[in-house]
Amino acid sequence: MKPQERIAELIDILNEASYRYYVLDNPTITDQEYDKYLRELINLEEKYPEYAREDSPTKRVGGAAVEKFDKVTHQTPMLSLSNVFNEEEIREFDKRIKKEGITPQYVCEQKIDGLSISLIYKNGLLVQGVTRGDGLTGEDVTPNVKTIKSIPLKLTEPIDVEVRGEVFMHKKTLAKLNEEREKEGLPALANVRNAAAGSLRQLDSKVAAQRELDTFIYYLMEPEKFGITTHYDAIMYLRKLGFKTMSETKLVNDIEGVLTFIKRQLELRPNLSYEIDGVVMKHNVFAEQLEIGNTAKYPKWATAYKFPAEEALTRLKDIIFTVGRTGRITPNAVLEPVILMGSTISRATLHNADFVTSKGLKIGDIVAIKKAGDVIPAVTEAIISRRTGKEKDFVMISTCPMCDTSLVKRSGQVDYFCPNDTCPARNINSLIHFVSRDAMNIEGLGEEIVEELYNLGFVKRIPDFYDLKSKKDQILEFDGYGEQSINKILENIEASKERGLARVLFAIGIPGIGSKTAKVLAHRFGNIDALMSRKKEDLENIPDIGNILATNIYEYFQTHQDFITELKNIGINMNEVGGERKENELITNKKFVITGTINDYTRNEIKEILESYDGIVSESVSKNTDVVIVGDSPGSKYDKAVSLNITIWNEDKLKEIFANLDKD
Ligand code: IVH
């Protein structure tokens, strides 16, 4: 078979598989088979780029980051929906339609908690994806939209069409994302909508690609072009074109049908993988929709019934404090167990003392709790009218609940910390963190075992793990430890020495360094000595690091040199494993500033290329700058570079250097 034909065949196989998996939720090939075909396609496309097609699944991985999104004016404004909140208001809506002399027939749909998107296809190929924006003008987020697997890159018919629908994030995806964010020391995203919106507006489509967004399409523009006269038929046609539409779409003939649909959705809601916040009812017949008309903001032929916010009342029995591995003290609400959206809640984080005081919570209060984004339970308020006078004021503790050391609060921060490096709570949690899956991944060492080894005195500090083999006989004397399981654990501990720099950097628990930042550092520096010898200013200029993290890293290594030497002596590999590092003497470890317009590259492209060779790009020129890259109409940075006698590269020089990089 000719390469062009094989490429076409592979694209068809992969797109079909993707459609079955992401749209129909009915996979027909295994992940391994999919990956095998995809690798074959990637290889062929690399060899024969002239045959790469726009609908190839390789276009879904995300490309270079952009600096900002282009604004796009919608051909037809993207309207919003009016809201109704109870049965009476639903009936009033129905009456208003009947008043127009129209017999209503409603399509009932779920109201998806996401954000709306417009997708434009030309000749059956996806050419543009635009956010709603203010309804008149949105942002062109095409590269991000292409990463959403349920959006077809090619339709089953070669038509020109605009469709609209909702982009959303599954509840599980948000939970996973928040788990990762917590590890990185970032605040949790409050709900699926914010998370989806933030993901769709990522300037770097590679990041958007990791967010696993999904869609439901519910609107076909210019249906008359396709001879379609009702909304229900439009949905069927969208489905035929390859779009993912809601399976809960029901045509009913009267308001009773709408009420039954609402009841059903309330029952389904807790078990859905995605979040719905109501039900949308739309009059079915397009010609009559036109008669009923729109206001400037929303159609008068449709409305959204919004579910009451899911809230529950329960008693705040106590506020207890936990100590994290960095020493951070978190107040937690101990609640009378209560069921909210299908799960029992008995604990909720209260974040910090300021949060508790700002809500005026007292122990013994009846409090309202809500699930933020239906994932994290949150205490929203105290019900003052239910107070009996027996409630107790909240008092922030001043000493660590584990080791009694006086807590400290750094200026400008809301959190209190236990400053005691030998605090057992801190130590146990740092040991648990060290062996955890994303860190050194030492299987067999679960939280309970680590805690026990700590309490028995076998492991007090990280290096002790690696000395456990010499204490095997002593450990065996304790109940519950069999020789085989100890041997397995000891083997796993030995194997962990080869995890490499990124995992070590994450595992040792430098404040604020999550696994992602650890990977960035490992990739950039390659080994721990290169990282430890850096000045704070150098660290600050690394993308994603910034001032606070740079200080943390710098201070950590200033104070932990002996500890790092100890780990090295144990034989822990402190080099980056895997991942190839690129070097170039003109770029690697040199500091760059870019000024003026370069014609053949965007600033981001230049930055990306320099950074891929571990060059450091910063904003302002100083005597530490090695090279200033100067384009057309440069600013004062150019004058400063001249006055400081700094090497200058113009566009030609830059192109020459970049061209030589490709030959390496
Ligand atoms: S139809 C002209 N249908 O809700 C009518 N919107 O509060 C356009 N939404 O901006 C919207 N699920 O982002 C429609 N089944 C559904 C929906 C839905 C969620 C969103 C959409 C809209 C917002 C209005």
Q: Which amino acid is at 36?
A: K
Last residue of a domain, one of 450, 469, 498: 498
Last residue of a domain, one of 469, 498, 527: 498
Residue 411, in any domain of the structure: no
The CA 111 to ligand 1 mean position distance, Å, reads 7
- Averaged over 11-24, what is the pLDDT? 93
Residue 37, in any domain of the structure: yes
Residue 35, in any domain of the structure: yes
Nearest residue CA, atom 22 of ligand 1? 80
Q: Is the CB of 81 under 6 A from ligand 1?
A: yes
- 114 and 30 in a single domain? The answer is no
Catalytic residue among 47, 68, 95, 111: 111
pTM metric for this prediction: 0.60
- 80 and 173 in a single domain? The answer is yes
The CA 98 to ligand 1 mean position distance, Å, reads 23
pLDDT band at 342 (very low <50, low <70, confident <90, very high): low
Q: Is the CB of 112 under 6 A from ligand 1?
A: yes
Q: Is the CB of 74 under 6 A from ligand 1?
A: no
Residue 488: phi and psi, rounded to 5, are: -65, -45
Q: What is the mean pLDDT of the chain?
A: 90
The CA 165 to ligand 1 mean position distance, Å, reads 7
Probe residue for ligand 1, chosen from 83, 112, 258, 305 as the CB with the greatest number of ligand atoms within 8 Å: 112
Last residue of a domain, one of 449, 481, 498: 498
The CA 381 to ligand 1 mean position distance, Å, reads 30
pLDDT at 286: 96
Tokens 């008092």, residue? 395
Q: Is the CB of 79 under 6 A from ligand 1?
A: yes
Residue 97, in any domain of the structure: yes
Total structural domains in the chain?
6
- Averaged over 154-172, what is the pLDDT? 95
**pLDDT at residue 578 tops 90:** no
pLDDT at 422: 87
pLDDT band at 663 (very low <50, low <70, confident <90, very high): low
Name the packing angle between helices 87-99 and 255-268 (round to 10°): 140
Please give the residue that has the higher pLDDT: either 276 or 187.
Answer: 276
Shortest-distance atom of ligand 1 to CA 246:
15
Q: Is the CB of 113 under 6 A from ligand 1?
A: no
- Averaged over 437-453, what is the pLDDT? 89
CB distance 221 to 227 below 8 Å: no
- 109 and 248 in a single domain? The answer is yes
Probe residue for ligand 1, chosen from 84, 110, 111, 305 as the CB with the greatest number of ligand atoms within 8 Å: 111
- 541 and 642 in a single domain? The answer is no
Q: Is the CB of 304 under 6 A from ligand 1?
A: yes
**pLDDT at residue 31 tops 90:** no
111 assigned to active site: yes
- Averaged over 171-193, what is the pLDDT? 80
Return the sign of the alpha-carbon dihedral for residues 490, 493, 497, 498. positive
Tokens of 592: 């760059």
pLDDT at 529: 93
- Report the distance separating Cα 439 and Cα 454, nearest Å: 19
* Closest-CA residue to 516 (of 268, 210, 227, 235): 210
**pLDDT at residue 274 tops 90:** yes
Domain of 524: which CATH number? 1.10.150.20
Nearest residue CA, atom 6 of ligand 1? 111
Q: Is the CB of 280 under 6 A from ligand 1?
A: yes
**pLDDT at residue 358 tops 90:** yes
pLDDT at 381: 94
Residue 115: phi and psi, rounded to 5, are: -140, 150
Q: Is the CB of 538 under 6 A from ligand 1?
A: no
3-state secondary structure of 319: strand
- Averaged over 560-573, what is the pLDDT? 95
* Closest-CA residue to 99 (of 291, 314, 306, 350): 291
- 285 and 210 in a single domain? The answer is yes
Q: Is the CB of 279 under 6 A from ligand 1?
A: no
Residue 439, in any domain of the structure: yes
Length of the chain: 664
Residue 418, in any domain of the structure: no
- Averaged over 226-254, what is the pLDDT? 96
Probe residue for ligand 1, chosen from 81, 82, 168, 300 as the CB with the greatest number of ligand atoms within 8 Å: 81
- Averaged over 508-522, what is the pLDDT? 88
The CA 81 to ligand 1 mean position distance, Å, reads 6
Q: Is the CB of 218 under 6 A from ligand 1?
A: yes
- 648 and 637 in a single domain? The answer is yes
Residue 188: count of CB within 10 angstroms of its CB: 18
The CA 202 to ligand 1 mean position distance, Å, reads 22
Exposure string for 319-336, b = 16+ CB within 10 A, e = fewer: bebebbbbbbbbbebebe
Q: Is the CB of 111 under 6 A from ligand 1?
A: yes
Per residue in 384-433, pLDDT (tens digit) is 999 999 999 999 999 999 999 999 987 778 899 999 988 999 999 999 99
- 141 and 245 in a single domain? The answer is yes
**pLDDT at residue 374 tops 80:** no
CB distance 524 to 576 below 8 Å: no
- 216 and 260 in a single domain? The answer is yes
- Among 263-272, 487-496, 601-610, which is the least confidently predicted range? 601-610
Kindly state the helix (H) or strand (E) to which residue 347 belongs, with its residue range.
strand 343-349
The CA 312 to ligand 1 mean position distance, Å, reads 27
- 121 and 162 in a single domain? The answer is yes
Nearest residue CA, atom 21 of ligand 1? 116
Query: By percentage, how much of the chain surpasses pLDDT 90?
Result: 61
Q: Which amino acid is at 54?
A: E
Domain of 28: which CATH number? 1.10.287.610
Name the packing angle between helices 3-18 and 31-47 (round to 10°): 150
* Closest-CA residue to 543 (of 526, 558, 521): 521
- Averaged over 564-574, what is the pLDDT? 95
CB distance 311 to 332 below 8 Å: no
pLDDT at 372: 62
pLDDT band at 26 (very low <50, low <70, confident <90, very high): confident
Tokens 């948000």, residue? 174
- Averaged over 285-290, what is the pLDDT? 95
Q: Between the CA of residue 369 and those of 331, 338, 339, 386, what are the distances in Å?
A: 16, 9, 10, 15
- 505 and 494 in a single domain? The answer is no
Nearest residue CA, atom 13 of ligand 1? 116
- Report the distance separating Cα 228 and Cα 322, nearest Å: 61
Tokens of 511: 């404040």
Nearest residue CA, atom 17 of ligand 1? 111
Query: DSSP letter at 22?
Result: I
- Averaged over 47-73, what is the pLDDT? 85
CB distance 57 to 39 below 8 Å: no
Q: Is the CB of 217 under 6 A from ligand 1?
A: no
Per residue in 90-143, pLDDT (tens digit) is 999 999 999 999 999 999 999 999 999 999 999 999 999 999 998 999 999 999
The parent domain of residue 457 ranges over 424-498
- 328 and 300 in a single domain? The answer is no
Residue 112, in any domain of the structure: yes
Q: Is the CB of 166 under 6 A from ligand 1?
A: yes
- 176 and 298 in a single domain? The answer is yes
pLDDT at 548: 84
The CA 220 to ligand 1 mean position distance, Å, reads 13
Domain of 337: which CATH number? 2.40.50.140
Please give the residue that has the higher pLDDT: either 309 or 458.
Answer: 458
- Averaged over 458-481, what is the pLDDT? 89
Residue 579, in any domain of the structure: no
- Among 59-68, 121-130, 218-227, 262-271, which is the least confidently predicted range? 59-68
